[in-house]
Structure formats: structure tokens, C-alpha cells
A and B are shown apart, each in its own frame.
Chain A
């Protein structure tokens, strides 16, 4: 009988902290008057009595008891070919996860984890939207054991630390900051911060203090008066623009800081047949991507990327379907293969994942020569509708709207169509698209799931078709093989070839 292990005792500490955050903090905020209660006549949940959050504190006790219970009944054991997790006393659950089905084993540590020498392990299989097992928390030695059993073909002994782990990519702080600058997540973070502040009612409080008071009203009235009198000088406009500029710069700087913290010391190494990414300053993440389980790769560049001769590489594995629930904290753990990599180092990296594939010698096929005419029709349609709609407001000046929208549509579609391309080799089918933000998606032929060819009424008139290749875990629309405006015959043959190639290769996770 394989020995059974328990979670690390520190689990209780982490659960305790989590319950504190959920139950105690809202109550404390209300008690000390720092946030308005969401009950009572003034609050969102009007039916609840004012100050109801205080009663949440009572929930703290049973929640802790449940945590203790869960910790005591949790058992983890390694059988010959599977991982077995048992938990629960009243509602008993026994989960068997075959090693051969495990896609990823990820490890997350925040600074408290590191202090206590523990790690939160997440095990993901191919199906399902989220991880199959979140083991919070295990000692570090258990992580190595899981990894060696899962990826080492089920051997019982823990492997000796292999001598060489070739580092494929290391991002020093300068690169991280550059990455933050290019990605510009600043706005997203500010929006998130605003959201959190709103929830805690802290924002209301600050708003009242700054804008509710006499000072705020005066300022608003002054600005409104000046608008009416038309006495806005250039200086004032300049000041406003400068403020906007400062705001934009601040956003970029926030993004750079965030990138630095989130991806600190980003290291991509090859460990045997896996790629391992490690990163993070406060929360340290070690994600493992088994090379043979990579479903598709997307290389993305913006204009700035190309000026700096760099690219961003993302990878999709089957377990990554967690991207569908954006609210989960575990999404995006494994997304980046190379957040920022020099183009000169790109072929080497791709060679690791797709041996024999050479990105510099791709024979890109264009789409149908008359694709532009076909592509521009829907946009013109929309332009006409918008112009007619605006004519009700602008009258005859809507002509300018029409001209403007038409010119814009023509320009955009021409560029878009010119930059579309596809190619296939024995092992990989690929597609490129986009002219300012460009992406190249590579999908392994032996990972192709279903192949679709579709024709809209517009397509049928132009004798064109669209070919779509479905893979497991494709994260978003831009990372899929979705080739529009192909000649119908070409599309048919491509779909057939891909279907046959997929059928002839057994799908191995």
C-alpha cells in the first residue's frame, strides 16, 4: 500500500489568513467607520440591517473548523500509474489522476510560502476548465517528487538533480521593464485598483472629501463658467494636454513596475523533455510545460517590438483552457514562453519546441488575389450604415463621414489582406496576420483536433472559403489558425490534407 502523505501543517496558517481576509476585514472596516456598510437604508443591500458585516465575524469560527477538518482528512498517495487524492469526512471524495493525463504541474509561492519553505502545487489535466488538484500547501520536497513521478515516467525513486539545465532565456530587469513598457498593462491595473477601491467603499469616501466639499464645487463651477464664456486660453488647453500626457506616462510606468514585480528574474530552462519557466518577485511561480504537450505557439509583435527587434512568444497547452474563466487566479500562469525575446534568439527557442522547424525559411502562401475586394465589402456596408445613421444628426455633412469611413476601410482592409499568409509543412501548419500588431501562429499537425471549412454568402459569391484548425487550449481568437479568403479549391484541398494528416497521427497528449 503506497504511503499516504498529508498536506503541510502550514496549510492551516494560509487558510486562516484567507478566512481573515474574507470575514474579518469587511467587519473591521465597518466597525472602525472606514467603509460604509452595504446594508441599511443607504447601502446597496438595503434589506440587510446596517452594519451586518460585523456578523460575518461569527462565520470565522465555522470556517476555521472546516479548514482544520479538511486538513486532517486530506491524503495524498502515489500509486503505480496515478496520483490519488482523498479528502473529506462527511462527503468523501477520492480522486484518481493518471500520470499520463497530467498536462502541467505548476508551483506557486508568495513570500509567506517561501518563508515557511512550502509551495502550492497545481495539477492540471487536459480536459476541464480548471486545475484538477490544487494542493495547498506541500513541502518543497513533495514538489520534486510529484514532478519526477509525473514526468519521469512513473519511476518510484526521486531523480538526482540533473547536471545541466540549459537556460534558454533569462530576462534581466532591463528587459522586464522594457516588456512592461511594451505591454502597457497600466490601464488594466488602474481599472482593477479602482474596482477594488469601489468595492471597499474607500473611493466614495475620498470622492466625498475632495469633490463634495466646498473646494470641489468651486473648482467645477469655475471650469463650467469659463467654458460658457469661451475664455479658455491656449495655456489652459496646454495644461490640460500636459496633464493627460503625464497620466499616460504614469500608466506606462505602472505597467513597467508591475512587469518587474510579476516576472522578476524570468528564467526559461529546458529540463529534460520539459520547458520550465520561473518568475516572480513576491509570488514566485515555477510552471512546467512538457514540450510534447505544447499544442500551439503564437509569436506576437507590435510596431515597437519590431523597432526593437524583439518578439513575444506565448504557448498553449491543453490544460490552459482555464483562460475561459478570466476571474480565476490561476489563469496566465503558464502563458508566457518568452515575454520578450530578441529575434536572433527566436529560432533557437523554437527549435527546442519544434525540432526541425526553421522559422526563417517559411514559404508563406498569400490568400486569394481578389481577397481585398471580398474583404472590403462588409466594411463598406458598415460604413454606409454608419453614415446614414449619422446623417440624421449631421444632415448633408454626413457625406464627409461616408468618405472618411470608406477611405479608412479601404486602407485598413488593403493592409490586412496584404499581410495575411499561411504555410504548411509536414509537422506544422502556420498562419500570419496583422500589419501593426502582427501574430504568427504555429500549430503542430499532430495536435490538430477538428478541421473546418466554412463559407459565408459573401464567400460563396467570390468562390472563397475559410479554413479553421481547432487545437486544444487555444486561448484567444488571435492565436488560432483561422485563414479567411482562401480560394475555394485551395481551401478544400488544405482542409482535406490536414484532416488526413491528423487522422494518420495518433493524438498523444
Chain B
């Protein structure tokens, strides 16, 4: 078992590159669900007896364009977001940088971590990745999530960040 403190090297790391296909798939599924959901009323409009056909065709074309646009975004966005996402773990805590247009640097001190989850959805499991969820006592950042770490690495980060058993208050 690797030493958890080896993870805390104070260097900025990128996420595991496998997160890109993971997010592409996730995005496509999301668009798929939205598209299917919005298609149903469209079907009613097309097949309805009193509905003017022209309107229906126009809506169908619009819907197709929207779906194609959504799918394209789902493919084009993850690589871009990947370039702008990084994290650093050291003795002080964890720092996460992300955001393409709206950029954020979140710093969670180690002494403020309440508990940590490492979760895996089914697709994440297939790629061997996990999502790190850090819980603090804060209001706005009660939960800080980082998706796209290799599962083993995420577990090591968790080991390192968790408070080492010192009681919270006397």
C-alpha cells in the first residue's frame, strides 16, 4: 500500500486523462435524455390531427439543431475543461483550480476537513476513476467535489487529508 503522504508532494497535477472520455459520455447521455424528453411533445405536435404540418417540421428542425449542438458541446468541452483543471495536495491542505471562463481556486485547509467521500458511478468504475468529495463545515463550500482522479490516487488523497484522529474540541 503506497504511503498516503507520497501524494502530498505540493505539485500541481492534472486530472487523470481518462476523465475526458468519461465526461464526454456523461454529457452525451445527458443530452440524450434531454433530447428524448423534449421529443415526446414534438411527436404529439407532428402527429396530431389538427396541427399545422409546417410548424411541426420547423420545430423538428430546431430540435435537431439543438440536439446536434448539445452533442457537439458534450464532445468539445471536456478536453478544454481538462486543460484548466488541476489540483495540489500538500501538508497544508488541498487546492483545486478549475474553470475555463469563470476560473476558481478553492483552498481547503487540512484542519478543516470534516469527512471525505470517494464515490464511483458505473462509468467511472469502468474507467477506474473516482470522485473525491471533501466536506467542510462551511456554508457555500460545505461540499467540494473533484471528479476525475484515478481511484487509487483518490483514496490516497483521502487518507492524507483526513484528520488523524485528534479530537475536535475538548
Contacts and interface: CB of A to CB of B under 8 A. Distances in A.
B93 to A, nearest CB: 5
A502 B137 CA distance: 13
A500 B112 contact: no
Contacts of A504: 92, 111
Interface residues of A, number: 37
Interface string A412-451: 0000000000000000000000000000000000001111
Interface size class of B (residues with CB under 8 A): 20 to 34
A210 interface: no
Contacts of A60: none
B120 to A, nearest CB: 24
B111 A506 contact: yes
A454 B104 contact: yes
A460 B138 CA distance: 27
Contacts of A457: 101-102
Contacts of A153: 170
Nearest to A295: B137
Contact of A470 (B103, B141, B166): B141
B140 A480 contact: yes
A503 B93 contact: yes
B105 A503 contact: no
B111 to A, nearest CB: 5
Contacts of A506: 111, 166
Contacts of B107: 450-453, 495-496, 499
A340 B103 CA distance: 40
A453 B138 CA distance: 16
B4 to A, nearest CB: 17
12 contacts: A451-B109, A452-B107, A456-B102, A468-B140, A471-B138, A474-B138, A474-B139, A474-B140, A480-B140, A502-B111, A504-B92, A506-B166
Given A472-B139, A502-B112, 9 more contacts: A318-B137, A450-B144, A451-B106, A454-B103, A457-B102, A470-B141, A480-B139, A496-B107, A503-B92
Interface of B: 92-93, 95, 99, 101-112, 114, 136-141, 144, 166-170
Q: Which 3 A-B pairs have the closest CB atoms?
A: A449-B138, A470-B138, A503-B109
